Structure 1
Amino acid sequence: MPDPATGQKTRLLMTRYSVSSDGTIALDSSTTFTVMLNPADFKHSFGISYDKQKKQGEPAADPKFSAVDAEKVNFSIVIDGTGAVPAEAGTTRQDVKAQLAQLNKVVYQYVGEKHEPPHVRLLWGTLIFFGRLESMTTNYTLFKPSGDPLRAKVDLGFVGAMSKKEAELVSNRSSPDLSHRVLVREGDTLPLLCHRIYGDSWYYLDVARFNRLVEFRNLKPGLELHFPPLE
């Protein structure tokens, strides 16, 4: 999909980020991976868990809300080392092994001081997803005579990550705004949307943090925003 500002086709970008104790994030622009070929499609799923237990003898029971499950994103990318796919301008072509090593560094290698998998932001068009790697499967499909891979297909699955504060907001079962989602339209601003929903535009910073928006002053039409319950 093209960048509206330049008309050039943008590529899916994966960037490591860290989360501070107050829930704010900081992108690590030195640890990124840009795909060679954008996914043909991606799956963005949401889930809700219910308590479905019923008493003995009951024919059926009304499922009781239990929890909001984490969002998930799944897609596949192709990594090519044959030279058939041109490298990005200003970059050096890398073989499949080097590209996979960089992908691993961004999404899989443990954060040393925390001894846990990294947080990763996915950015592509209207998709802005903050989470962690849940699964990665690499299928090598083409080889050099020496056995070195020339092409690989990588299936990736990410699970959404929320700070403790955001998780508390989402789990507020008594709120009528629990499932409030808004699709951004042309001309919408975050203060304006907050005024429509909360009656007060000053909640825009809280909503930006909840949606993990790095740039919230210029909202892209088609972006889906989540508005948490008020405390």
Structure 2
Amino acid sequence: TDNGIEVLINPSGYQRTMGVCYSTRATQGQPAATPKFAHVKPETLTLPQLVFDGTGVVALVGMESVNAMIDKLLKLLYKVDGDKHQPNLVCFMWGDLKFFGYVTDVAIDYTLFKPSGEPLRAKVKLTVLSSMNVEESLRRANLSSPDLTHLIDVRAGDTLPLLCQRVYRDPAYYLAVARVNGLVDFRDLRAGMQLRFPPLS
């Protein structure tokens, strides 16, 4: 498409990296701390080898040079958009894979050249950080069980950290829950208002 790039040689594979952060801060006098769940890290996708070939092995009508293909790739994935003041959010699709994120690293290995020095083949490694939003992060953290209520009516004296402690058994999610509910100030709770605590099951 005009806003995308189709790689003509299928990648040899890809890697998906996921992680969970735990706090191991010990209180004074404790010999060791029990790891306590902190948050789920955004997923990372690594494409170890995208091949751009200009030798004619996979030649198509109107095919561009390797330099032109690499320039197009960098413009799409890496260069800062002047209107958005950041690189583009991109989607990688191959088979069942559909991954949205931002490219954090680009490594280009030029491996074959014309006598003039113009590249005929390049292998590109990409690292992509997922654009997973707060609600999706909470859902992946599986911070619910079937008996939890996700719509809670605020009562007099309730605070968001207190409600997060009640629902998630951890008050640290109050800022994320405030964002999900569109609260500008997490302290601005009124009796009778209803709050949504993701994930929804």
Pairwise same-fold verdict (TM > 0.5): yes
Distance of 1:39 and 1:59 partners within structure 2: 49
Q: Percent identity?
A: 40
Alignment of 1:98-177 (within 5 A): 98-163=68-133, 165-167=135-137, 169-170=138-139, 174-176=143-145
Matched, 1:95 2:77: no
Asked if 2 retains the 8 angstrom alpha-carbon contact of 1:67 and 1:171, the reply is: no
Asked if 1 retains the 8 angstrom alpha-carbon contact of 2:40 and 2:141, the reply is: no
Runs of 4 or more above 6 Å deviation: none
Greater C-alpha Rg: 2
Distance of 2:82 and 2:109 partners within structure 1: 28
Query: Who is 2:12 aligned against?
Result: 40
Work out which of the residue numbers 74, 82, 85 in structure 1 matches 2:58: 85
Tell me by how many angstroms 1:30 deviates: 2.4
2:58 aligned counterpart, secondary structure? coil
Tell me by how many angstroms 1:105 deviates: 1.9
Unaligned runs of 5+ in 2: 147-197
Tell me by how many angstroms 1:125 deviates: 0.5
1:61 aligned counterpart, secondary structure? coil
Unaligned runs of 5+ in 1: 1-28, 178-227
Q: Give the RMSD, CA atoms, in angstroms.
A: 2.3
Equivalent AA in structure 1 for residue 144 of structure 2: S
Distance of 1:175 and 1:86 partners within structure 2: 52
Tell me by how many angstroms 1:61 deviates: 2.4
Query: Who is 2:160 aligned against?
Result: none
Asked if 2 retains the 8 angstrom alpha-carbon contact of 1:31 and 1:105, the reply is: no
